[in-house]
């Protein structure tokens, strides 16, 4: 029976949430345990992260949550407004 003891750390009964095989690690976004077959490696800054296939389907291969796109859009709008205000200011000062 000694051969059945899993190698490495972690709970011995940790199972992949998708296929039920022995999990190799948690998903970087939803923290669900998945095996190597049910996750995809994605770049998140300097290091690699594993995303479960559910999260890959739902949000693409990024660690950014859904609101990040909205915040990026908001920053873009604010940036344009600031640029316009700066141009108006410069024109007023110049005249």
The residues binding Zn ion (CB under 5 A) are 16, 18-19, 21, 27, 29-30, 35, 37-38, 52, 55
Cβ closest to Zn ion, residue 18 vs residue 49: 18
Cβ closest to Zn ion, residue 49 vs residue 55: 55
Cβ closest to Zn ion, residue 65 vs residue 72: 65
Cβ closest to Zn ion, residue 35 vs residue 49: 35
Question: What CA dihedral angle connects 58, 63, 69 and 74, to 10 degrees?
Answer: 160
CB of 78 to Zn ion, least distance (A): 32
CB of 31 to Zn ion, least distance (A): 7
Give the span between the Cα atoms of 55 and 78, in whole angstroms. 30
The CA-to-CA distance between both ends of the chain, in Å, stands at 88
CA 9, 15, 16, 22 dihedral sign is: positive
CB 49 within 8 A of CB 28: yes
CB of 53 to Zn ion, least distance (A): 8
């Amino acid at each position: 029976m000694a051969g059945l003891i899993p190698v490495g750390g972690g709970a011995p009964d940790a199972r992949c949430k998708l296929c039920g095989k022995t999990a190799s690690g948690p998903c970087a976004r939803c923290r669900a345990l998945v095996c190597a077959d049910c996750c995809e490696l994605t770049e998140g800054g300097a290091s690699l992260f594993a995303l479960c296939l559910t999260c890959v389907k739902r949000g693409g291969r990024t660690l950014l949550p859904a609101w990040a796109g909205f915040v990026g859009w908001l920053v873009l709008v604010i940036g344009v407004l600031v640029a316009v205000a700066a141009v108006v200011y410069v024109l007023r000062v110049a005249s």
